Amino acid sequence: MEHPADLGFRMPAEWEPHEAVWFSWPHPEGISFPGAYDRIPPAMGALVRAAAEFEPVRINVRDAAEEAEARRHVGRHDRVQYFHLPTSEPWCRDHGPIFLVNDATGEVAVADFDFNSWGGKYAGPDLDRLVPSALAKVLGLRCFRCPMVLEGGSIEVNGTGSVLTTRSCLLNPNRNPDLAEVQIEANLRGWLGVRNILWLGDGIEGDDTDGHIDDLTRFVGRSRVVTVVEPDQGDPNHLILETNLTALRALRDEDGKPLEVVTLPMPERRLEHEGQRLPASYANFLLVNGGVLMPSFGDPRDDEAAAVLGSLFPGRKVVPVDCRAIIIGLGSVHCLTQQQPVPPRVLAS
């Protein structure tokens, strides 16, 4: 089987220029927001407007009626487009396409991984499973089909050869029980164009994805990462995050350079919904052209987290987005979005 990497494709870093950012609109009958859906469309509208201040936004809706509903909450905005591509749930990071670029040819393509509702936790992923290939067709992009189960929130790349991920998710038998670690690593190299796989351990409490990396640690430069920490030793997240922090300090980039590790606080207050802990994390931010959309939780540490991200991205405006409603669905800003890169500029030889 010919892999995208063999043809010169790679997954770009999130800070590389975007053509647009994708969303999938939520549905009242979905499983993501039990007993709280009425709070979600206004919160989604606010998030879409925040993103549209920086770059074009493209939203998947199932039909004209849902488009009208989305438009009512988003409002009039020249940078927002709607596409009639139905989904089951709104987590576009995980069911949406993973975009690839080819620097030699200027081509953008789609990596279409399998999707099984986060290890078969929820029924009915069929519509979500079809999103990558459907979007590739709409956009006229080449689509590479990979049979391995993989969600976009489980991987984080620096764009030059390294990928961060977690053993608790990618090596979980509920994803790819027939694949050994060496086979999963080979697929990451072949489909994402990476050569250096960096493994962390467990995810935070309340994360039903089995430990997505985008709630833990993010690349903020080729050899620099930001990772969340929990100072309260009585919090279950303290040991989890301390263990990952120790692991990060021993890891190196694709050229053998040690990672520079910057810490980011977790929210001070424990967020719960109907007795369930919610995985509120400031690491679930989204980089947009000229900005950083940071989830905020009405927490005393919101400002501290914004200051850390501002120091890491001095040329970008940090915009806190209230995610106290959205986090009920066990995800926030990054989980709801998927960036589409600008085609690489091919320089004449």
Q: What is the pLDDT of residues 164-202, one digit of tens each?
A: 999 999 999 999 999 999 999 999 999 999 999 999 999
Given the DSSP bridges, would you call strands 142-149 and 107-114 parallel, antiparallel or unpaired?
parallel
Sheet containing strand 260-265, strands side by side: 217-219, 224-229, 260-265
Q: Is residue 347 part of a domain?
A: no
Q: Which residue has the tokens 């053509």?
A: 19
Task: Return the bridge partners of 107, or none.
Answer: 102
Nearest to 262 by CA among 308, 316, 307: 308
Q: Which three-class secondary structure state does DSSP give residue 251?
A: coil
Closest CA to 60 of 343, 345, 336: 336
Is 205:171 a contact under the CB 8 Å cutoff? no
**Active-site residue (options: 92, 169, 323, 335):** 335
Query: 231-265: per-residue pLDDT in tens?
Result: 999 999 999 999 999 999 999 999 999 999 999 99
Q: How many residues does the chain have?
A: 349
The domain that contains 71 carries what CATH number? 3.75.10.10
Q: Where are the alpha helices (DSSP H) in 193-299?
A: 236-248
Please tell me the pTM assigned to this model: 0.97
Helix (H) or strand (E) holding 149: strand 142-149
* Cα torsion angle, 75, 77, 80, 82, sign: positive
How far is the C-alpha of 239 from the C-alpha of 281, rounded, in Å?
Answer: 16
- Residue 122: the pLDDT is 85
What are 66-125's pLDDT values in tens digits? 999 999 999 988 999 999 999 999 999 999 999 999 999 999 999 999 999 999 988 766
- Taking each helix axis from N to C end, the angle separating 64-74 and 40-52, rounded to the nearest 10 degrees, works out to 70
Measure the CA–CA gap between 34 and 326, rounded to whole angstroms. Answer: 11
Contact in structure between 66 and 30 (CB atoms under 8 Å): no
Backbone angles phi, psi at 20, to 5 degrees: -170, 170
pLDDT of residue 267: 98
| Separation between Cα atoms, residue 218 and residue 229, nearest integer Å | 13
Alpha helices in 16-150 (DSSP H): 40-52, 64-74, 92-95, 117-120, 126-129, 131-139
Q: What is the pLDDT of residues 299-323, one digit of tens each?
A: 999 999 999 999 999 999 999 999 9
Residue 157 lies in a domain: yes
Q: Is 90 within the bounds of a domain?
A: yes
135, 110 contact by CB (below 8 A): yes
Q: Give the pLDDT band of residue 349 (cuts 50, 70, 90).
A: very low
pLDDT digits (tens, 9 = 90+) for 113-171: 999 999 998 876 689 999 999 999 999 999 999 999 999 999 999 999 999 999 999 99
**Is residue 296 classed as helix, strand or coil in its secondary structure?**
strand
Provide φ and ψ at 205, rounded to 5°: -60, 135
Reply yes or no on whether 335 is catalytic.
yes
Q: Determine, yes or no, domain membership for 319.
A: yes
Hey, what are 9's tokens? 């494709």
217 within some domain: yes
- Nearest alpha carbon to residue 166 among 129, 220, 195, 207: 207
Per the structure, the complete domain to which residue 127 belongs is given by 4-341
Domain annotation covers residue 349: no
348 within domain boundaries: no
Domains of the chain: total:
1
